[in-house]
C-alpha cells in the first residue's frame, strides 16, 4: 500500500504538499496539484483513514446502534442515517443491541472506542442514568425513539400516546363500542404510552360508562403473541368488534386468530396496527396502521448528531414526532 511519502517522492514534492492536495487546500499551485493527483492515481494511493483520524482527532465515521438490522424498521433507520451521512462525506459503523442491556452497552462502547464522530443510539434496554453518562462522555450522541429527561435536545422520539389515541378514536368514530387493545408484555415505555392513549381515547369518547369498556390482553410483541392475545380476548368477550394492536406483527397474529375462528376482518372485527411496517401492505386485508415516520426521524437524528459533532448551531426542531393514521382495508364501520 502506497503511503503519502511514496507519493511525495514520486512527485518530487514534500509530504505537506501532498497532504494539501488531498485536503483540497487552496494554497497549492494548480500545476503541482495536478502532478500530485496524477501520481496518486498511478500509485493507487488511498489515504490511510486511521492515520488521519489519529492526527486530526476527527474521523468520518458515524456510529449507529439499533436492536437488529434485519428488522426492516431498523433497516430503514440505518438507511436514512446513511443517506445524510453519505451526503456529508461520512460512513457508517453499526452495532446491534438485540434489546439486551449488555449488548447495547458493548455496541456503544465499541463505537466510541472506534472514534466515531457522531452517534445515533436506539436503546430500550439501558436505563436513563447509563445513557446520560454516555451522552456526557460523547458530546455528539443522539437518541432515537426515546425521551431522556435532561437530554431533551438530544432525543428524537415518537408521540406514542397520540398515535394510540388516533387509532382508538378512529375505531370509535366508525361506530365501534367494544374496542379492545392488544399490548406488548415487554416493559418499555412505548408499551405504557400506547396503552394510555388507548384508554384515554376511550374515556374521552365515552358517552355512558357501559358503552366503551376497557378490554386488554398482553403478550410478546410478535405474531404468535398477537394470536394468543386475540384468542384470550375472544374467550372473554364475544361482543368485541374492533382491536387496536401494539404493532403490525401482533396485528397480523390477531388477524390469523380471528380468521381461524371464522371471524371475517373487517366485516366482523376491525383491526388497527402500529408502525405501518413493510408487512402492513401485504397483509390480507391490507392493514390500517399508525405510521411511524422513522425515515424523517432518522434523518433529523443524523443531522443533529453531525451538527453536535461540529459544534454547529443545530436546526432546533422539537424532537417529538406526530404519528398519522394510514387507512387501508382492515377497518369498517360497526354493523350495529
| 3 state DSSP class of 106 | helix
Binding span for DNA by CB under 7 A among 31-39, 131-139, 196-204, 239-247: 31-39
Alpha carbons 170 and 176: distance in angstroms, whole number? 9
Alpha carbons 297 and 137: distance in angstroms, whole number? 24
The continuous run of DSSP H or E covering 121 comes out as strand 118-121
Alpha carbons 50 and 67: distance in angstroms, whole number? 28
Q: If binding is defined by CB under 7 A, does position 38 make contact with DNA?
A: no
The binder of a second copy chosen from 18, 61, 269, 305 (CB under 8 A): 61
| Closest distance of CB 34 from DNA, Å | 10
Residue of 147, 81, 64, 127 whose CA lies nearest to 319:
147
| 3 state DSSP class of 64 | strand
Q: If binding is defined by CB under 7 A, does position 47 make contact with DNA?
A: yes
Q: If binding is defined by CB under 8 A, does position 49 make contact with a second copy?
A: yes
| Closest distance of CB 210 from a second copy, Å | 36
The binder of DNA chosen from 20, 122, 138, 228 (CB under 7 A): 20
Q: If binding is defined by CB under 8 A, does position 293 make contact with a second copy?
A: no
Q: If binding is defined by CB under 8 A, does position 145 make contact with a second copy?
A: no
Please identify, using beta-carbon distances, which residue of 34 and 152 lies nearer to DNA. Answer: 34
Q: Which does 318 bind (CB under 5 to 8 A by kind): DNA, a second copy, none?
A: none
Adjacent-strand bridge partners of 67: none
Q: If binding is defined by CB under 7 A, does position 193 make contact with DNA?
A: no
Q: Within 13 Å of residue 317, how many CA atoms lie on the same side as its CB?
A: 15
Sequence-ordered list of residues with C-beta below 8 angstroms from that of 146, at least 6 positions apart, any chain: 122, 123, 124, 131, 155, 157, 189
Q: If binding is defined by CB under 8 A, does position 226 make contact with a second copy?
A: no
Among residue numbers 237 through 266, which ones bind a second copy (CB under 8 A)? Answer: 252
Alpha carbons 108 and 49: distance in angstroms, whole number? 21
Question: Which residue has cell 439501558?
Answer: 126
Q: Which does 23 bind (CB under 5 to 8 A by kind): a second copy, DNA, none?
A: DNA
Q: If binding is defined by CB under 8 A, does position 69 make contact with a second copy?
A: yes
Q: Which does 262 bind (CB under 5 to 8 A by kind): a second copy, DNA, none?
A: none
Alpha carbons 69 and 78: distance in angstroms, whole number? 8
Among residue numbers 56 through 75, which ones bind DNA (CB under 7 A)? Answer: 56-57
Residue 296's CB is within 10 A of a number of other CB atoms, namely: 11
Q: If binding is defined by CB under 8 A, does position 53 make contact with a second copy?
A: yes
| Closest distance of CB 14 from a second copy, Å | 21
Residues binding a second copy: number (CB under 8 A): 43
Q: Which does 82 bind (CB under 5 to 8 A by kind): DNA, a second copy, none?
A: a second copy
Alpha carbons 196 and 108: distance in angstroms, whole number? 31
Give the β-pairing of 61-66 and 270-275. Answer: unpaired
The three cell numbers of residue 294 are 422513522
What is the number of residues in the chain?
Answer: 336
Alpha carbons 160 and 147: distance in angstroms, whole number? 11
**Applying CB under 7 A, which residues contact DNA?**
1, 3-5, 12-17, 19-20, 22-23, 27-29, 31-33, 45-48, 51-52, 54-57
**Applying CB under 8 A, which residues contact a second copy?**
44, 46-51, 53-54, 59, 61, 68-72, 74-76, 78-79, 82, 86, 91-96, 109-115, 137, 252, 278-279, 282-284
Amino acid at each position: 500500500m502506497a503511503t503519502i511519502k511514496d507519493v511525495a517522492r514520486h512527485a518530487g514534492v514534500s509530504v505537506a504538499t501532498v497532504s494539501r492536495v488531498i485536503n483540497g487546500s487552496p494554497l497549492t499551485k494548480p500545476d503541482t496539484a495536478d502532478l500530485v493527483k496524477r501520481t496518486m492515481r498511478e500509485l493507487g494511493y488511498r489515504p490511510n483513514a486511521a492515520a488521519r483520524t489519529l492526527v486530526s482527532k476527527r474521523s468520518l465515521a458515524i456510529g449507529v446502534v439499533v436492536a437488529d438490522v434485519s428488522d426492516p424498521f431498523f433497516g430503514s433507520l440505518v438507511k436514512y442515517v446513511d443517506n445524510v451521512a453519505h451526503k456529508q462525506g461520512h460512513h457508517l459503523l453499526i452495532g446491534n443491541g438485540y434489546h439486551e442491556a449488555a449488548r447495547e452497552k458493548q455496541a456503544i462502547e465499541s463505537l466510541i472506542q472506534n472514534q466515531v464522530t457522531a452517534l445515533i443510539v436506539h436503546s430500550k434496554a439501558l436505563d436513563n442514568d447509563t445513557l446520560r453518562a454516555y451522552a456526557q462522555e460523547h458530546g455528539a450522541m443522539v437518541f432515537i425513539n426515546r425521551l431522556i429527561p435532561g437530554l431533551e435536545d438530544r432525543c428524537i422520539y415518537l408521540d406514542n400516546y397520540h398515535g394510540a389515541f388516533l387509532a382508538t378514536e378512529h375505531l370509535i368514530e366508525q361506530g365501534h363500542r367494544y374496542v379492545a387493545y392488544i399490548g406488548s408484555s415487554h416493559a418499555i415505555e412505548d408499551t405504557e404510552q400506547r396503552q394510555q392513549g388507548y384508554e384515554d381515547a376511550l374515556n374521552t369518547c365515552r358517552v355512558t360508562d357501559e358503552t366503551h369498556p376497557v378490554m386488554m390482553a398482553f403478550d410478546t410483541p410478535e405474531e404468535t403473541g398477537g394470536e394468543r392475545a386475540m384468542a384470550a380476548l375472544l374467550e372473554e368477550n364475544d361482543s368485541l368488534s374492533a382491536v387496536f394492536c401494539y404493532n403490525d406483527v401482533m396485528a397480523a397474529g390477531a388477524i390469523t386468530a380471528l380468521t381461524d375462528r371464522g371471524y371475517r376482518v373487517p366485516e366482523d372485527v376491525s383491526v388497527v396496527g402500529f408502525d405501518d411496517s413493510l408487512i402492513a401492505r401485504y397483509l390480507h386485508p391490507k392493514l390500517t396502521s399508525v405510521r411511524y415516520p422513522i425515515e424523517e426521524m432518522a434523518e433529523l437524528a443524523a443531522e443533529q448528531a453531525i451538527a453536535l459533532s461540529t459544534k454547529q448551531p443545530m436546526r432546533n426542531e422539537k424532537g417529538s414526532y406526530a404519528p398519522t393514521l394510514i387507512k387501508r382495508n382492515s377497518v369498517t364501520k360497526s354493523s350495529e
